[in-house]
Amino acid sequence: MRHRFVEDAMIKRSKLFGNKTRVTFSLPADEPAGRVSVVGDFNDWEPGRHELQARRNGTRTVSVPLDPGHYKFRYLASDGVWLDDEQADVVGPNGSEIRL
């Protein structure tokens, strides 16, 4: 399977109270076009649950508070295209992975 990557994607991690980490997924505002959700095993791969929202700085972001662990995820664009994030800790045949 060939991976299709999102250009200029970014993942930011911020420690929260307790052992949680806020993971912010960021994409350019216009690439890919249309709505984009981050889906993964942290949200039962449910499209639309964590949709990226446009920001004033020209990006789209969504933040997800997560417990320590390993999480697989991908971006799902409105045209049904799955995209991987090269900024992830691991990119494999089933998508990207972050390790907290």
Specify the pLDDT at position 3.
56
Query: What's the token pair of residue 43?
Result: 């949200």
Structure tokens at 28: 């350019």
DSSP 53-98: EE-TTSEEEEEEEE-SSEEEEEEEETTS-EEB-TTSSEEETTEEEE
Specify the pLDDT at position 1: 43
Check: CB of residue 4 under 8 Å from CB of residue 36: no
Host domain of residue 31: 11-99
pLDDT per residue, tens digit, the chain (100 aa), is 455 777 788 999 999 989 999 999 999 998 888 999 999 999 999 999 999 999 999 999 999 999 999 999 999 998 888 999 989 999 988 889 999 9
The pTM assigned to this predicted structure is 0.91
Whether 65 is in a domain gets the answer yes
Instruction: Tell me, yes or no, whether 30 lies in a domain.
Output: yes
| pLDDT of the residue at 27 | 94
| Burial (Cβ within 10 Å: 0-12, 13-18, ≥19) of residue 34 | exposed
Please report whether residue 5 resides in a domain.
no
The verdict on residue 3 lying in a domain is no
- In terms of C-beta density within 10 A (0-12 exposed, 13-18 middle, 19 or more buried), how is residue 74 classed? buried
Q: Is residue 69 part of a domain?
A: yes
Number of domains in the chain: 1
CATH number of the domain at 90, please.
2.60.40.10
